A and B are shown apart, each in its own frame.
Chain A
Amino acid sequence: MTSSPEESWYKRSGVEDLVEFYRTKFVSDEVLDSRYFKALDRFDMRFARTMWVFDNVRPGSTVLDLGCGAGMLALLKRKDVTLAGIDLSSECALASKRNGYDFTFSGDLTNLPFEDHSFDYVVSLDVFGHIEVSQKEHVISEIKRVLQPDGVTLHGIECTDRSLRPPLNEMTTEELHRFIAVDGHVGLEEEQEQAQRFQRFFKNVAFEPRYALCLTSEEFLKQADHYGLPFDTDFLDYLRGLSFEERRAFDIAMGYVFGRISELNIKLPKAGLYVFVKASDSELGPFYNEHRDRSSLLPASHAEQPVSLDRRNDVVFDDGWYEPNLLPPIARWMAQTAKIRFQAAALGSISFDLTTHIPDLQVKPVELEILVNGCSLSAISLYRYGWLNWKIQIPPELSSAGEFEIEVRSNRTWQPRPLGRAEDGRDDRELSIAVCNLEIIS
């Protein structure tokens, strides 16, 4: 993903404005801010690559994320790292900053705007597949330059299998256009080729082919539909028919298996899909979990936690809550019923802001009910769009319970895009209301 004059594959495939191409492909309003990370998501296959980096980065270190996109490595902030990001697209850089990166830059990866030996780790996920082969070694030399002498560089790289997929120079213009339009891959190589490039610059290089077994449900379909990988048709049909919750369950199961493979250090055969590369001039530690400490992801003690529940890591949002979205502000969408569990010495009232995008609101208002520790405290009919502040007084008999469970119920939900649109994709979540600024007042 560089802006070099040799972007021949992009140009040949009809991509004239590379920055715009990446902006439209990878900029999203997805909230990756580590403060909103749900502990259970550490098993989600979507975060498998992130967790590999998370478990290999030393707490408090300095990390540069190359091609940071929307900020997939924002979770590293839970390890108190100093996190910098660089991306070709300034909007991606902005999105990463919004998601909690300390510094972000827009620029060319062959000319990094940093002093020599600035970072303990230089990391990239899904970037080298977007760099043209002729540019890769420029990028690796820049990585080596900005990396501490004993620093480690970690990369998750998309690969190809030449026995299954023809190289770009053997594709017709139409095939090339179709292929590059999917993900923008112009620099796919086989696993060992990627590793060999790093071996030219670093003394110690380790690599592991991954994703031979575990993929997200979405990735299975993409590999079959767009890259022609041969999966069984009935399996693909089954995946296509899964609901949002079922897909999430599938992805968590896959992610769990992925994590266990790493923990057990099981060697997988190369599958022409993906490779993890770890390289350094100093001695390499274990390939997986070199600095594993996931305690910061788990619910912590509530001592001295702020009064807002949104970003407290001791507060448990159950699976009735979806991951946050930037509406703005950052808010969590809720299914028909959702619960929040937290501890507090005393609870006088709860206040939060809510909104909905549900259709026909004026004809069919949304009935909402709030329960605290199973006791119904308030109910409203939401009949207008926009934000509403809802404040609920806690009766004295409940206020000193110590442990609290807030349950919000809605009488109906809707699916924003159950069938999916070309530009936005599918969104078949069952949504009712979005909630933010959950505040408890003692």
Chain B
Amino acid sequence: MVDQEVEDILKQIRNSVRAEEERNARPVQTKNGHPTGSNSTAQPPAVQSVQNYPNLSTLNRAWDRLPPVMSNRRGALASAELWLKQILKRGSRWFTWEQVNFNNAVHHTFREVIESLTTFEQQLGETNNRLLELQQHQRRLEESFESELRQLSKTTSELARLLPALDRDRQLHALQTKLAALEVAWDRWEHQRQDESARVTESLLEIRSATERVLDEQRVCFKQMHLEVAEISAREERDRRALNQRIVKLEGAHESSKASGGSES
């Protein structure tokens, strides 16, 4: 009865393992019907451990001892039972060892499955923790975002309220800038005006001085011209007198020659 149950369990595990192998061997259909790769990482760790032991055979011959034959009966019944069991034991030794080995393999497999499941559970826990952390972080971000949004909204409304004033400020600033530029231009113009004024004054002085020089020079030139004219007129007068004297002399000579010519004739 017990053997039958063990055998059923083993058969169930084997079927389960084979079914799993077949499922892994086939392409996995996703929800949308598209196949995924055969080496999908979605397999649980226990299945992977079972796949590491495909024959489920235990060869540990160190344990090659069957438990002693026991009986809860007393007396002859017990002796008969023990004798029967001794006979059965020898006859079913191979089967028993198969079962023991099988059990051992199952035992180890389960232990590995447990380890894998434990690891998986730990990872799952870590993932959950990480997920929780992320959720918390997301919440914090959302809160922060909402806070920023509120602040922005507040600032926007404040800006909307300040905009007309700002516009006035801008105009004022522009006016101030223009005023500053005008002041700079004025300063520059004032400097230029002063420079020009100084230059004009300087030029005026130069012109005045040059005019004085020219007038001086003109005066001296006119004086020279006047003296030259006086000299020329004096020379002309002298020449005129000399010419008159020569004419008188020539006339005298002519008259005398005429007179002498007349007397000769």
- The interface of chain A, by Cβ under 8 A from chain B, is 304, 306-308, 310-311, 327-330, 353, 355, 385-387, 436-437, 439
Contacts and interface: CB of A to CB of B under 8 A. Distances in A.
Contact of A311 (B212, B217, B221, B231): B231
Interface in B160-178: none
A303 B217 CA distance: 31
B234 A329 contact: no
Contact of B230 (A306, A353, A355, A436): A306
Nearest to A312: B231
Contact of B227 (A306, A327, A386): A306
The 7 closest A-B pairs by CB, nearest first: A387-B216, A308-B227, A306-B231, A329-B224, A329-B221, A386-B216, A353-B220
B227 A310 contact: yes
B227 A437 contact: yes
Interface string B36-77: 000000000000000000000000000000000000000000
Interface of B: 212-213, 216-217, 219-221, 223-224, 227-228, 230-231, 234-235, 238
Given A329-B221, A437-B224, A308 B216 contact: no
Contacts of A439: 227
B209 to A, nearest CB: 8
A186 B237 CA distance: 49
Contacts of A436: 220, 224
A436 B219 CA distance: 12
A353 B221 CA distance: 10
A304 B238 contact: yes
B164 to A, nearest CB: 71
Given A327-B217, A353-B220, A436-B224, 16 more contacts: A304-B238, A306-B230, A306-B235, A307-B230, A308-B227, A308-B228, A308-B231, A329-B217, A353-B223, A355-B216, A385-B213, A386-B213, A386-B216, A387-B216, A437-B223, A437-B224
B80 to A, nearest CB: 153
Contacts of A304: 234, 238
A328 B228 CA distance: 15
Contacts of A329: 217, 220-221, 223-224
A386 B224 contact: no
A330 B224 contact: yes
B227 to A, nearest CB: 4
Contacts of B238: 304
Contacts of A310: 224, 227
Contacts of A386: 212-213, 216-217
Contact of A308 (B217, B219, B230): B230
Given A304-B234, A306-B234, A387 B219 contact: yes
Nearest to A304: B238
Interface secondary structure of B, over-half rule: helix
A353 B219 CA distance: 10
6 contacts: A304-B234, A308-B227, A310-B224, A330-B224, A386-B217, A437-B224
Given A386-B212, A386-B213, A437 B220 contact: yes
Nearest to B222: A329
A97 to B, nearest CB: 14
A354 to B, nearest CB: 9
A409 to B, nearest CB: 22
Contact of A328 (B217, B227, B235): B217
B19 to A, nearest CB: 115
Contacts of B223: 329, 353, 437
A380 to B, nearest CB: 16
B207 to A, nearest CB: 14
B224 A387 contact: no
Given A304-B234, A306-B230, A308-B231, A328 B213 contact: no
B117 to A, nearest CB: 111
B233 to A, nearest CB: 9
Contacts of A385: 213
A329 B235 CA distance: 22
A355 B213 CA distance: 11
A330 B220 CA distance: 10
Nearest to B223: A437
Nearest to A439: B227
A328 B214 CA distance: 10
A270 B212 CA distance: 57
A244 to B, nearest CB: 26
Given A306-B234, A329-B221, A437-B223, A311 B216 contact: no
A169 to B, nearest CB: 50
Given A304-B234, A304-B238, A306-B234, A387 B227 contact: no
B230 A387 contact: no
Nearest to B237: A304
Contacts of B231: 306, 308, 311
Contacts of A307: 227, 230
Nearest to B235: A306
Contacts of A437: 220, 223-224, 227
Nearest to A385: B213
B234 A387 contact: no
Given A304-B234, A304-B238, A306-B234, A387 B220 contact: yes
A311 B221 CA distance: 15
B221 A328 contact: yes
Nearest to B241: A304
A304 B238 CA distance: 8
Nearest to B214: A386
B213 A311 contact: no
A327 to B, nearest CB: 8
Nearest to B230: A306
B35 to A, nearest CB: 99
| Residue of A304, A327, A328, A386 most packed against chain B (CB within 10 A) | A386
Contacts of A327: 217
Contacts of A330: 224
B63 to A, nearest CB: 125
A386 B210 CA distance: 9
